[in-house]
Amino acid sequence: MPMSDDFKKRLLPALADIVAHFGTPFHIYDEVGILDTGLSLKNAFSNIAGFMEYYAVKALPNPSIMAIMQKMGFGFDCSSIPELVLSRQLGATGEKIIFTSNNTTNDDFKVALSDGGCILNLDDITLIPKLPATPELICFRYNPGPRRTGNDIIGNPVEAKYGVSHDQILDAYRQMTVLGSARFGLHTMLASNELNYSYIVKTTRMLLQLIEWLSGELNIRFEFINIGGGLGIPYRPEDTPLDLAEMSREIIALFDAYRSKHGYVPKLFMESGRYMTGPHGVLVTKAINQKDIYRKYIGVDACMSALMRPGIYGAYHHIDILDKDPARLPTEKVDIVGSLCENIDKFAVERELPEIETDDILIIHDTGAHGHAMGFNYNAKLRPKELLLRQDGSVELIRREETMADYFATLTFEKNILSR
Ligand SMILES: *Cc1c(COP(=O)(O)O)cnc(C)c1O
C-alpha cells in the first residue's frame, strides 16, 4: 500500500485549501506519519541497548524534517560538508553524526573532525594516511564483494565503488590500532529499497561474524555495527510492506546469540532514509494540458526537477486524482508528463487513471525520500516548494520554491581571467 489511509485522512479534506493558499506544485510531508514510523522503529529494537537510527540526511535534507528526527533522539548520517553543517546547525554533534563519505577529500575530513567531530566511517584503506588526526573511534564501510549479491538500485557489491574489500578489512583495523584508535565500529550498506527483511537480517549476521573474527585477530572490541539503510517501502499497491516485527525479532535473536557466546554485544546502528520519510510525502501537481497523439499525454505543472526517480530508475510512484475514485469512474491509459525537453520526464507511463480534466489535482505518492532532494535544474527548471502538515493540522512552508534569481545566482561573480 503506498500513501497510508491515515495520511489520506489527514491530507485530502484539507488539500483544496492548501492548494488555494500555497499554489501548485509542492511536496507535502506528514509529521504524524514520520513520528509513527520513527517510534515503531525504536520500539522494534528497544531490546537492543543503544539502538540508534541515524537518519540519512540526503533523503530529505530539510531542517524542519531533521528537527522531527532529533525530537525522537535520532542522529544523522551525512556524506557531504553541507549535510554536516546542516546537522550541526540543528545542534547535533559528536557521536550523533556519522560521516559516511566516499572518494573523500581533505576538506571533508577537516570539517568532519572539527566542530565537535563525528563518527568517521572510512570508505577505503588508502584514506588512513590522509586523516588529519587519528580519531579515537573509527569505523570502516565493508564491501563483501562476491560474498553477497546486491539489489537493483544499489547494484552488485563487486561492481560497487563503496567500501573496503574483504581482503583489506583486517589490515584496515590493524593500521588504526597501530595509530592509536581505541574504539571501533563496522558499517556496511548493501541494499536499497529492500522489502525482503531476510536480506537485512543476513547483513546483520554477516557483520556480527565479521566483528567476531576481527575482534579475535586484533584483540579489540567493537562498540557498534551499522547495518546501513536500504529498508524498502511499498511503492506499488501490490507490494508487501517490509515485515519490521519479524526483522527485528530475528536480529534480536542474533544479538542474543552473540551475547551468550561473547559476554557482550555491540550496539546496533541503522541509517534509514527512505523508510523514515518516503511514504510520508506526496508531490501535489495540477493538470494544465492534455494532448492526444499516438498516446494520450496529461501535462502537469511539476516536472523532473521535483522528482527524478521515475525518469532515472523507471520507478513506479502511485498516482491519485483528487476526488476521482478509479474504482467508480471510467479510466483511460495516459502518460503523465512534465515540461522538460527530455522524453524521460514522465511521472507515469501508460497508467490507467480516471479521466483527467484540466485543473485536476494529482497526488503523486511516496515522494518523502529521494524526491525533492534529488531534483535537478536541467533545462532551467526550478524546484518546487516543500510544505509540512503538522500534528495540529496546520500547514507550514518549510522551503520556498526556487526563483529565477536562485538560478542566476551563480552568474554573479567577480571578473576572473587568466591572461596568456
Ligand atoms: C543513501 C544512503 C542511506 C539511506 O538509504 P535509504 O535507502 O534511503 O535508506 C544510508 N546510508 C548511506 C551510506 C547512504 O548512502
pLDDT of residue 147: 85
pLDDT above 60: residue 300 = yes
Name the residue of 139, 272, 276, 309 to mutate for ligand 1: max ligand atoms within 8 A of Cβ.
272
Which cell goes with 20? Answer: 488555494
pLDDT-based confidence at residue 150 (cuts at 50, 70, 90): low
Angle at 419 between CA 416 and CA 420, to 5 degrees: 150
Going by pLDDT thresholds of 50, 70 and 90, the confidence category of residue 155 is low
DSSP per position, 89-119: HTT--EEEEEEE-SS--HHHHHHHHSTT-EE
Q: Locate cell 550498506: which residue?
A: 189
212-240 residue pLDDT tens: 999 999 999 999 999 999 999 999 999 99
Angle at 300 between CA 296 and CA 305, to 5 degrees: 120
- The whole-number average pLDDT for the span 45-63 is 97
Cα 93-63-20 angle, rounded to 5 deg: 170
Residue 154 clears pLDDT 90, i.e. is over it: no
pLDDT tier at 383 (50, 70, 90 boundaries)? very high
| The pLDDT of residue 58 | 98
Instruction: Choose between 395 and 191: higher pLDDT.
Output: 395
The rounded distance, in Å, linking the Cα atoms of 271 and 276 is 10
Q: Which residues are catalytic?
A: 341
- pTM for the model stands at 0.96
Cell of 50: 543503544
Give the nearest ligand 1 atom to 232 CA.
Answer: 7
Atom of ligand 1 nearest to the CA of 100: 13
* Interval 100-119 mean pLDDT: 96
- What average pLDDT is seen over the chain? 96
Where do the domains of the chain lie, and which CATH numbers do they carry?
31-277 (3.20.20.10), 278-409 (2.40.37.10)
Ligand 1 centre to CA of 313 (Å) is: 16
Instruction: Give the span between the Cα atoms of 376 and 378, in whole angstroms.
Output: 6
CB 79 within 8 A of CB 99: yes
Q: Can you name the residues that pair with 246 across neighbouring β-strands?
A: none
Residue 157 confidence (pLDDT): 87
Task: Compute CA distances 50 → 15, 115, 327, whole Å.
Answer: 40, 24, 47
- The conformational region for residue 279 under phi > 0 = left, psi -120 to 50 = alpha, else beta, is alpha
Q: At residue 159, does pLDDT exceed 90?
A: no
pLDDT at residue 287 tops 90? yes
126: pLDDT strictly greater than 80? yes
Distance 409 CA to ligand 1 centre (A): 30
Query: Mean pLDDT over residues 136-149, rounded?
Result: 92
Closest ligand 1 atom to the C-alpha of 153? 7
Res 152 pLDDT > 60: no
pLDDT > 60? residue 396: yes
